[in-house]
């Protein structure tokens, strides 16, 4: 791609998928979305103030206490941030995305200066990459829901299905799958599946950071409260 080429749009399918997930989160966890939006607006209002009053550098604008409060929400709100990137007047959200996204595979390569330094190019690239991840996670969730049924009547914990291919395929998505898992768990109506969803979210959130997993010992209420109302680091 050359510097003066037209900037390719994110695919319409990608935009629709990204917006759909953020809408589902808003329906299921309105307090989380309201908290994010409030902090996001506060951050935007601080962008062109003080030392940054005349700055157009997104990296320098993405600093200070307001930005830090957004970052504290962590990967829980990645889908909400990506949804911002579908809007042409929210390109500074790229800095927030790059701060909270843990997987370099889903970031623009800083060595590709044309993609990385042109915010609209980077935003569209991120939306398309995340669309691919969403599709893969949705398929992994579907496969795990089928596989988990064999554990319903067993008094088992994570070690009993640690070699389950469907389980491991979902876990491999790490923190990128947090929203999908929490939405599945919230809409689950099978009591025997509750413990299994808890094992999944605990494995994704805790073991990667601490190496310690609670293996299904915590309640839905604690995890739901964390996802909907607390900063990321205040994990159960």
- Cα–Cα dist 89/134, whole Å: 24
At 40-69, the pLDDT tens digits run: 999 888 876 665 555 555 566 677 898 999
Q: Is the pLDDT of residue 178 over 50?
A: yes
Same domain, 120 and 140: no
6 phi-psi bin (left φ>0, alpha ψ -120 to 50, beta other): beta
Nearest-10 crossing angle of helices 30-47, 64-71: 160
Same domain, 123 and 29: yes
Mean pLDDT of 95-110: 89
Same domain, 126 and 162: no
Give me 98's structure tokens.
Answer: 């790059």
Look at the chain and report how many structural domains it folds into. Answer: 2
Mean pLDDT of the chain: 85
Mean pLDDT of 116-125: 80
Same domain, 188 and 96: no
CA distances to 94, 113, 140, 168, 223 from 116, rounded to whole Å, are: 10, 5, 30, 32, 36
The domain containing residue 70 runs over which residues?
12-131
Last residue of a domain, one of 74, 104, 131: 131
Gyration radius of the chain over CA positions: 19
Tell me which range, 98-102, 153-157, 210-214, is most confidently predicted by mean pLDDT: 98-102
Same domain, 126 and 146: no
- Residue 117 pLDDT: 59
Tell me which range, 122-126, 147-151, 177-181, 232-236, is most confidently predicted by mean pLDDT: 177-181
């Amino acid at each position: 791609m050359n510097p003066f080429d037209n900037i390719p749009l994110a695919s319409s399918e990608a935009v629709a998928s990204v917006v759909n997930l953020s809408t589902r989160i808003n329906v299921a966890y309105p307090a989380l979305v309201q908290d994010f939006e409030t902090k996001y607006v506060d951050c935007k209002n601080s962008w062109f103030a003080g030392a940054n009053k005349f700055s157009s550098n997104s990296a320098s604008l993405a600093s200070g206490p307001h930005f830090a409060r957004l970052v504290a929400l962590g990967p829980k709100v990645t889908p909400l941030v990506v949804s911002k990137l579908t809007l042409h007047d929210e390109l500074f959200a790229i800095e927030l995305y790059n701060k909270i996204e843990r997987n370099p595979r889903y970031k623009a390569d800083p060595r590709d200066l044309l993609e990385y330094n042109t915010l609209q190019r980077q935003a569209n690239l991120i939306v398309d990459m995340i669309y691919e991840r969403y599709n893969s996670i949705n398929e992994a969730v579907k496969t795990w829901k089928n596989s988990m049924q064999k554990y319903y009547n067993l008094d088992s914990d994570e070690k009993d299905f640690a070699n389950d291919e469907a389980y491991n395929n979902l876990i491999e998505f790490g923190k990128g799958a947090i929203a999908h898992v929490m939405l599945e768990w919230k809409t689950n109506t099978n009591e025997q599946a509750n413990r299994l969803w808890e094992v999944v979210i605990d494995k994704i959130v805790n073991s990667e950071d601490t190496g310690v997993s609670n293996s299904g010992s915590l309640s839905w209420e604690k995890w739901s409260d964390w996802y909907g109302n607390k900063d990321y680091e205040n994990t159960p």
